[in-house]
Amino acid sequence: MGEMSLGHIQASDEMVLANARIVLEHEVVQGSVLVRDGRIAAVEQGAVAPAGAIDCGGDLVIPGLIELHTDNLERHIQPRPKVDWPHAAAIQAHDGELASVGITTVFDAMRVGSVISGGRTDYRKYARALASELMQARSKGMLRISHFLHLRAEVCSETLLDELEEFGEADRVGILSIMDHTPGQRQFRDLSKLKDYVCGKHGMSEDQFTDHVAGLREIHARLGAAHEAGAVAAARRLGAVLASHDDTTAEHVAVSAGHGARLAEFPTTVEAAEACHAHDIAVMMGAPNLIRGGSHSGNVAAAELAERGFLDILSSDYVPSALMTSAFQLAEIWDDLPRAIATVTAAPARATGLDDRGVIAEGLFADLVRVAHIEGVPVIRGVWSHGRQVG
């Protein structure tokens, strides 16, 4: 615990969250958190709220949530098919939405690698320009929370290596995940599930779907190996954490481990998740999977991995509010609130090398969320990013 006294709050750059149940990394304590100049200056136990403090009335105070994989920005820039929303407004809306649900650090996922042959217009390059707009908004102080990049390197594409070359060390690329959406394996081993997804999203006919599958398989056969090697090299060049995506077999995981992967996004089977732990690779699963009770693609349920001890990190994936909800649901499965909160705070911070956030401890950034748990629903009552209230 910090040694600094919380008895008197005078300076305008100080704040105290008092009379709170503070979720530390391994325990919950009744106490107060002193924030000074954007960082946690002290944590003290006791139910007393000093003059000038924010009395939390027994609410929980947890670290700000850390989101490693979200498609939410893409949803804002294309709210409907073929609708390109103004990007500055989309970035602001995305940033504000995440802040409102307790996320204070995000790795914005952007696909790199496009398919341009066969007259396709729905899988074009976009990441470089969008990343530049995002970083410009950050540099001008337009954003509420911390943003890093997560490049989703699509092996089954035609332009991956050229698109990766456009990114450098200044781009804050924190994660590079190797994706392979070649039909018939990994996430879409069951082609009927892929057909439902693609035809439902793009309105393809039976013949169009058949041609789609054949075209992607040809691209993978021609470019897949070179793209996978190039993605691994790009992660090293950018200083990004390498992540696998949709590992299905122990063999997939062995390849990922050989590449130096430290994070596994959404392994599709118990076999793959268990192999990840054997290779010291953190397993991340989707919060919607946990909340819905299963994968929309028919793959392993997040709850099963949690019960087996193979789940380390949760991601909101495509529903930002799911991150907080799923953490509390996981707390019920494990009967361990600190362990569950760590899957959305400390564990993602460790997996990406962020040693300045993710737990409530002296000297770390004051990324904090005040949340009440009412009738099983987490109700957010305040969000602070680097000590500044953003929600």
Q: What CATH number has the domain bearing residue 26?
A: 2.30.40.10
pTM above 0.85, yes or no: yes
Q: Within a 10 A sphere around the Cβ of 86, how many other Cβ atoms?
A: 9
Q: Which two tokens stand for residue 151?
A: 């490049």
What confidence category does residue 206 fall into, taking pLDDT thresholds of 50, 70 and 90?
low
Q: How many residues in the chain? A: 391
Averaged over 72-78, what is the pLDDT? Answer: 92
Spatial CA neighbour of 327 closest among 351, 311, 308: 311
Confidence of residue 211 (pLDDT cuts 50, 70, 90): low
Mean pLDDT of 89-113: 97
* Distance separating alpha carbons of residues 260 and 246, to the nearest angstrom: 16
Residues 349 and 252 reside in one and the same domain: yes
* 348 closest CA partner among 103, 14, 139: 103
Contact in structure between 248 and 274 (CB atoms under 8 Å): no
% of the chain beyond a pLDDT of 70:
87
| Residues 271, 227 share a domain | yes
| Shared-domain flag, residues 314 and 166 | yes
281: left (phi over 0), alpha (psi -120 to 50) or beta: beta
Residue 337's CATH number? 3.20.20.140
- Shared domain for 351 and 361, answered yes or no, is no
> Which residues, including other chains, have CB under 8 Å from residue 337's CB and lie 6 or more apart?
23, 28, 328, 331
In whole angstroms, what is the distance from residue 182 CA to residue 190 CA? 12
Question: Which residue do the tokens 């996430």 mark?
Answer: 187
Q: Do residues 300 and 363 both lie within one domain?
A: no
Are 171 and 287 part of one and the same domain?
yes
Same domain, 254 and 214: yes
Inform me whether the pLDDT recorded for 201 exceeds 60: no
Task: Note whether 177 and 265 are within 8 A (CB).
Answer: yes
Contact 32, 53 (CB under 8 A): yes
The two structure tokens encoding residue 115: 């398919």
Mind listing the pLDDT tens digit for each residue in 133-184?
A: 999 999 999 999 999 999 999 988 889 999 999 999 999 999 999 998 666 5
> In sequence order, what E strands does the chain have?
14-23, 28-36, 39-45, 54-55, 60-63, 65-70, 103-112, 146-154, 173-179, 241-245, 263-265, 282-286, 313-315, 368-374, 377-385, 388-389
Decide: 357 and 66 in contact? Cβ < 8 Å.
Answer: yes
Residue 300 phi/psi, 5-degree rounding, is -60, 145
pLDDT higher than threshold 70 for residue 197: no
Condensed to tens digits (0 to 9), the pLDDT of residues 305-345 reads 999 999 999 999 999 999 999 999 999 999 999 999 999 99
Q: Is the dihedral of CA 360, 362, 367, 368 positive or negative?
A: positive
- Do 388 and 326 fall into the same domain? no
Whether 80 and 3 share a structural domain: no
Of 8-12, 96-100, 357-361, least confident by mean pLDDT is 8-12
Statement: residue 196 has pLDDT above 60: no
Residue 389, SS3? Answer: strand
b/e map 114-132, b = 16+ CB within 10 Å = bbeeeeeeeeebbbbebbe
pLDDT band at 200 (very low <50, low <70, confident <90, very high): very low
State how far the Cα of 358 lies from the Cα of 25, in Å rounded to an integer. Answer: 9
Q: Are 318 and 8 in contact (CB under 8 A)?
A: no
What is the Cα–Cα distance from 261 to 280, expressed in whole angstroms?
Answer: 9
pLDDT band at 295 (very low <50, low <70, confident <90, very high): confident
Indicate whether 15 and 75 sit together in one domain.
Answer: no
256: left (phi over 0), alpha (psi -120 to 50) or beta: alpha
Burial of 279 (0-12, 13-18, 19+ CB in 10 A): middle
Same domain, 347 and 388: no
Which of 59-73, 89-103, 117-131, 205-219 bottoms out in mean pLDDT, i.e. has the lowest?
A: 205-219
Total tally of structural domains belonging to the chain: 2
- In sequence order, the β-bridge partners of residue 195 are none
Q: Are residues 321 and 200 in the same domain?
A: yes
* Domain range enclosing 288: 65-355
CA 316 to chain centre: 6
Q: What is the pLDDT, as a whole number, of residue 343?
A: 98
